[in-house]
Amino acid sequence: MKIYDNPPIELWAELCARPVQSDEGLSARVGAILERVRLGGDGALRELALEIEGKAPASLEFSAAEIEAAAGKVSPEVKAAVKEAAANIEAFHKAQRPSEVVVETAPGVKCIQKPVPIAKVGLYIPGGTAPLFSTILMLAIPARIAGCSEVILCTPAQSPEVLYTASYCGIKRIFRVGGAQAAAAMAYGTATIPRVDKIFGPGNRYVTAAKQMLGLSRVAIDMPAGPSEVMVIADDDASPAFVAADLLSQAEHGMDSQVMLVCRSSAFAEQVQREIELQTAALDRSAFVQGALSCSRTVVFRDNDDAVAFAEAYAPEHLIINTARPWDIASRITAAGSVFVGSYSPESAGDYASGTNHTLPTCGWARSFSGVNIDSFMRKMTIQELSREGLRGLSGTIISMAEAEGLQAHANAVKVRLDESK
């Protein structure tokens, strides 16, 4: 990791840049897949599976027997872990439930903001060597708390943990479909896979591109997706071993992950670098780690003001604050997905079990997006009820504004109600 000692503010934009992914030809390929699924439904899903994975599944949906059998293959330790993590995630997300807001803004004018669940949601979990079943907890539990009436899962993963966790969270329908075609199936619906109102979950760049394209016209999506990232702010009192372990836990996600260290001295940065080398030697995924570290940076600032300003400019998905007085910094942060305060709050605690959600905005989207939370599965609808006197009270205001905007019929809708002789 290259060290930048007290970089001038003109350099910050460059230091905050994320690794660029080249997408040439991607949208055309993904667009073609979406169109095939829209027109061809289940048949297209089978053909695509044959073309891409080399075989079409006998059934697009996992059977109840398959789901039950999966539970037998999951270790008791993992089952206990799922149970504990689920309980914490449930406790934190239940506390987030919004209340109905009722205000009489003027006599006879009642305004209500009513939270309602999004009816149908679709979750996606990618495949790979070790599918991330923890993400199911992060999506299915808030969906259930919100009261969504239908929650389905699409996944190419042949993983007992995935099936077990989905079933544990109450998901009844799990489909054996992956990639852009899974997103298309949930957005358009097929004979087998129901159409949903919103799609959640991570994926490779095909899935991400599909979600973006479908999100323009067809279905809501959770948030823009990008490679995962962490920023650690540490002072000289922090343990270089802890800091190195946190940076590595992010770096092992993939070649395009980014890790950023903000510290007080080059000497500390060098201690962390030595720890990284020591700890990396013992890791299986060291190729990913090397890739991620090559686009990562260490920045040295001598005071909190600069560190806070730089963190806000970067807007990290995960921000770990490992300093002697971490709240001096934490209380000033606004642009981060999730913040980890103090020496004993590693990112992996939030990734799995503290109760916070790990589906978070990346790539600087933490300036404008929240991570997944109970709101992601609900909408807020407004309702108003005016009495005749309430409408009379507002009539002058409505008519003046409507006429100034040239909207005569808007004014008439009030006049006709107050002029009538009944």
Please give the C-alpha separations between residue 42 and each of 48, 125, 174, in angstroms, as whole numbers: 10, 19, 15
Residues of span 95-114 touching a second copy by CB under 8 A: 95-96, 98, 101, 103, 105-106, 109, 111, 113
**104 classed as catalytic:** no
- The only residue of 60, 136, 248, 262 in contact with a second copy, by rule CB under 8 A: 248
Does position 22 bind a second copy by CB under 8 A?
A: no
User: Which two structure tokens, joined as six digits, stand for 368?
Assistant: 């404008």
Does position 396 bind a second copy by CB under 8 A?
A: yes
Closest residue by Cα to residue 407 from 415, 396, 419, 399? 399
Does position 283 bind a second copy by CB under 8 A?
A: yes
Cα angle 397, 399, 405 (rounded to 5 degrees) comes to 105
Does position 356 bind a second copy by CB under 8 A?
A: yes
CA 305 from centre of chain = 29
- The only residue of 204, 212, 266, 304 in contact with a second copy, by rule CB under 8 A: 212
- The only residue of 4, 62, 314, 340 in contact with a second copy, by rule CB under 8 A: 340
* The length of the chain, given as a count of residues: 422
DSSP string, 57-119: -S-SB--HHHHHHHHHTS-HHHHHHHHHHHHHHHHHHHTTPPPPEEEEEETTEEEEEEEEE-S
Does position 294 bind a second copy by CB under 8 A?
A: no
- The only residue of 204, 252, 254, 304 in contact with a second copy, by rule CB under 8 A: 252
Instruction: Give the span between the Cα atoms of 174 and 317, in whole angstroms.
Output: 29
Residues of span 120-139 touching a second copy by CB under 8 A: 129-134
Count of residues of this chain found to bind a second copy when the rule CB under 8 A is applied: 127
Measured from the CB atom, the residue of 6 and 387 that comes closer to a second copy is 387
Measured from the CB atom, the residue of 197 and 306 that comes closer to a second copy is 197
Residues of span 316-335 touching a second copy by CB under 8 A: 326, 330, 333-335
Instruction: Give the span between the Cα atoms of 337 and 27, in whole angstroms.
Output: 28
- Backbone phi and psi for residue 332, each to the nearest 5 degrees, phi listed first: -100, -5
Does position 204 bind a second copy by CB under 8 A?
A: no
Instruction: Give the span between the Cα atoms of 347 and 245, in whole angstroms.
Output: 10
Min separation Cβ 418 and a second copy, Å: 9
CB 67 within 8 A of CB 167: yes
Does position 52 bind a second copy by CB under 8 A?
A: no
**51 classed as catalytic:** no
- The only residue of 31, 40, 194, 355 in contact with a second copy, by rule CB under 8 A: 355
Instruction: Give the span between the Cα atoms of 136 and 407, in whole angstroms.
Output: 49
Measured from the CB atom, the residue of 48 and 193 that comes closer to a second copy is 193
Which residues are known to be catalytic? 317-318
